[in-house]
Amino acid sequence: MSYTKPLPTLAGHTEDFYGWCKKHELRFQQCTGCGAWRHVPRELCAECGSWDWEWMRSSGRGTVFTWTVAERPLHPAFADAAPYTPIVIAMEEGVRIVSEMVDCPHDQLVIDMPVEVVFDDVTPEITLPKFRRAG
Amino acid sequence: MKDRACIVGIGETKYVRKPGSGMTGVQLHLQAATRALEDAGLTGRQIDGIIPSPYVATAEQLAANLGAATLRFATTVHMGGASPCAALPIAAAAVTQGIADYVLVPTGWNGFSTARARNVVATDVKSLPGATIARDYYLPFGLTAPPQWYALIARRHMHEYGTTAEQLGCVAVAMRKHAQLNDNAIMRGKPMTIEDYMMSPMITSPYRLFDCCVETDGAAAMVVTTAERARDLRKTPIYISGAAAAQPHPADEIFNRKDIYEAGMTIAAPRAFAMADATPADMDFAEIYDCFTFEVLQQLEETGFCKRGEGGAFVEGGRIELGGDLPVNTHGGLLSEAHTLGMNHIVEGVRQLRHEAGARQVKDAQIGLVTGWGDFGDGALAILRR
């Protein structure tokens, strides 16, 4: 059965971000001028103005920042998915990323709970970074 | 610019859900606009500036229909639901600088029968700020609609400050109570208790059905001119004492703000209060953009009515109801009157200050504020006085 949920459009920096995910590596831009990490990808560092950056590998570790349980789907592609739980993870590097958990029912979620990244190869082209409980 | 420009005309269509307005978006705009012109005692020919909201009608379409033959100022503020309120400082600047004499600000949509607000991302992701960000980094994980974005912030606030569902319910109940005094409110005749609120189905936790505004067919409009011209028009001029709009940083992505609660309002509010030489304590009422209940708490905090984290306690005990210390959304708000991108809040603020609000009149109202909230947290605030 084909995958029917929305997928990112692979272009520009987004192609690079998800390209690393396909290799099962979570990477964010890090400014080579001041060291600031950033997500989502940008052209310049909003902290120091530098155009220079690298895709640096994240530890993959973070904590649960917040979540919502979508009981009533508000998009046709998720009509059969509810209830599902979009979540925001605060990564060790200081950036936050929207994702979902693969192993934790929503009634067991706790804010600040430690989590780590896993990779879900949803199509041959696209891998989404998701999260599971960490020790 | 303080008190040098005025709102001189207001107009609204009937607000409806089923079976829909039966009018096009442009027709709705024109009906609200012509009512605002009549209220002011102006004709379409005198309008030489138009600031339509995004999405539905263009300045060109409106000017052509209204006979605005000398249009010399047209722009649009791209701030979603903050657009009408954010148009106020622009309209005031335009008329006080002579860029236009009479500026029409119309807004409206068939928000129930055609373009459901909840579907905006599904149907028109380009309408969002940072559209590709939502598409590439939110949608794949099912984060698809405004109540979901803001529910995430609300849950964090509940965790950090102990804000409760019952406190969110106080906002919904107050708006519903006020709507019972308003003939044009969608929820007139449908009173609601806190128990009703708590029993309403969860949409996207912590937001229940009654935390969410009523998608509506309808339109509203206002006319702005200088204080000098206002004195010759039909109605009591309502002065724009302070007005400002701002965006959070970054404005195109919600979850990587250093301070997750900082919104456009955080930046706009002190500027608007300074311009008006007023403080929150001076306000006789507040019409606060209430797309969802938590955004009312957040704006009460960010405008300075209470400290960060105290919004929940602030709305308890009827404080924001008519007769309380700070009546909020005396018309019923987006939660119980209608969703016209917040132009209905401006219209209500003007009615209160003209003392035309009938059964829901705040006694001897002299000064009040109106806010707008849009997109990923853009904000606008206007302090109005009679």
Strands B5-12 and B49-50: unpaired
| CA distance linking residue B349 with residue B360, whole number of Å | 12
Instruction: Name the residue type at position A28.
Output: F
Closest among B375, B80, B335 to B211, alpha carbons compared: B335
Please state the length of chain A: 135
Q: Which residue of A has its CA nearest to B139?
A: A6
- Predicted confidence at residue A24, as pLDDT, reads 98
Answer yes or no: do A76 and B122 touch at CB < 8 A.
yes
Question: A72 to chain B nearest CA, in Å?
Answer: 5
Residues in chain B closer than 8 A to A107 (CB atoms): none
Contacts of B268 (CB under 8 A, 6+ apart): B244, B245, B246, B379, B380, B381
B205 within domain boundaries: no
Q: Give the residue from A17, A68, A102 with the most B CB atoms within 10 Å of its CB, the best one to mutate.
A: A68
**Domain annotation covers residue B90:** yes
Residues A66-73, mean pLDDT to the nearest whole number: 96
Contacts of A14 in chain B (CB under 8 A): 132, 136-137
CA pseudo-torsion sign B106, B182, B312, B370 = positive
Task: Say if the Cβ atoms of B142 and A75 lie within 8 Å.
Answer: yes
Q: Is residue B255 domain-resident?
A: yes
What is the per-residue pLDDT across A44-58, written as a single tens digit (0 to 9) for each? 999 999 999 999 999
* DSSP letter assigned to residue B364: T
CB B170 within 8 A of CB B320: yes
Write out chain B residues lying below 8 Å of A69, CB-based: 202, 204-205
Comparing CA positions, the residue from B123, B155, B153 lying closest to residue B139 is B123
Closest of B151, B131, B63 to residue B102, by C-alpha: B63
Helices (H), B72-226: 83-96, 120-123, 131-133, 146-161, 165-179, 194-199
Confidence of residue A135 (pLDDT cuts 50, 70, 90): confident
Name the residue among A9, A46, A75 with its Cβ closest to that of B132: A9
By Cβ distance, the residue of A8, A68, A96 closest to B155 is A68
In a domain, residue B170? The reply is: no
- Name A91's bridge partners: A62
Q: Is the Cβ of A19 closer than 8 Å to some Cβ of chain B?
A: no
Instruction: Give the pLDDT mean for A16-30.
Output: 98
| Cβ-nearest to A74 among B133, B148, B250 | B148
| Whether A43 contacts chain B with CB within 8 A | no
Cβ distance B156 to A111 less than 8 Å, yes or no, reads yes
Domain assignments of chain A as residue spans, ordered by start: 12-133
| A13 Cα to chain B: minimum distance (Å) | 11
Residue A4 touches chain B, beta carbons under 8 Å: no
Check A128 against B141: CB less than 8 A apart.
yes
Q: State how far the Cα of B105 lies from the Cα of B82, in Å rounded to an integer.
A: 13
Compute the distance between CA of residue A3 and CA of residue A7 in angstroms, rounded to an integer. Answer: 9
Q: A65 and B140 in contact by Cβ < 8 A?
A: no
Q: Which sign does the torsion angle of CA B200, B202, B207, B209 carry? A: negative
Q: Is residue B297 part of a domain?
A: yes
Q: Which domain does B42 fall in, by range? A: 5-113+214-385
H or E element that contains B350: helix B343-354
Which of B254, B256, B294 should one mutate to test binding to chain A, selecting the residue with the greatest count of A CBs within 10 A? B256
Distance (Å, rounded) from C-alpha B99 to C-alpha B227?
A: 15
CA B79 to mean position of chain CA atoms: 11
CB nearest B152 (choices: A7, A68, A128): A68
Quick one: residue A60, left, alpha or beta (phi over 0 = left, psi -120 to 50 = alpha)? left
Exposure b/e, B349-383, CB count within 10 A at least 16 = b: bbbbbbeebeebbbeebebbbbbbbbbbbbbbbbb
**What does the block give as tokens for B260?**
């997750």
H/E element holding B99? none
Q: What is the pLDDT of residue A117?
A: 98
Beta carbons of B203 and A86 less than 8 Å apart = no
Dihedral sign (CA B179, B182, B185, B187): positive
Exposure letters B90-101 (e unless 16+ CB within 10 A, then b): bbbebbbeeebb
Q: Angle at Cα B89 formed by Cα B246 and Cα B380, nearest 5°?
A: 35
d(CA B162, CA B154) in angstroms, rounded, equals 11
How many CB atoms are located within 10 Å of the residue A80 CB? 9
Q: What values do phi and psi take at B341, rounded to 5?
A: 55, 30
CA-based nearest residue to B48, from B25, B65, B28, B72: B72
Whether residue B147 and residue A5 make contact (CB cut-off 8 A), yes or no, is no
CATH number at B235 reads 3.40.47.10
For chain B, residues with pLDDT lower than 50 are none
Looking at the complex, does the CB of residue A67 fall below 8 Å from at least one CB of chain B? yes
The residues on B that touch A, with CB distances below 8 Å, are: 118-119, 121-122, 132-133, 135-145, 147-148, 151-153, 155-156, 159, 201-207, 249-250, 253, 255-256
In chain B, residues with a C-beta closer than 8 Å to the C-beta of A76 are 122
Closest to B148 in 3D by CA, of A95, A132, A82: A82
Give B13-59 pLDDT, tens digit per residue: 999 999 999 999 999 999 999 999 999 999 999 999 999 998 899 99
Does A113 touch chain B if contact means CB atoms closer than 8 Å?
no
Distance from CA of A9 to the nearest CA of B (A): 6
Pseudo-torsion of CA B315, B316, B320, B322, nearest 10°? 170
Residues facing residue B382 across a β-bridge: B243, B370
In which region does residue B332 sit, left (phi positive, over 0), alpha (psi from -120 to 50) or beta (all else)? Answer: left
Residues of A in Cβ contact (< 8 Å) with B132: 9, 14
B256 and A96: CB-CB below 8 Å? yes
Instruction: State both tokens at A63.
Output: 């904590």
Assess if residue B91 is contained within a domain: yes
Shortest alpha-carbon distance between residue B205 and chain A (Å): 5
Structure confidence at residue A121 (pLDDT):
98
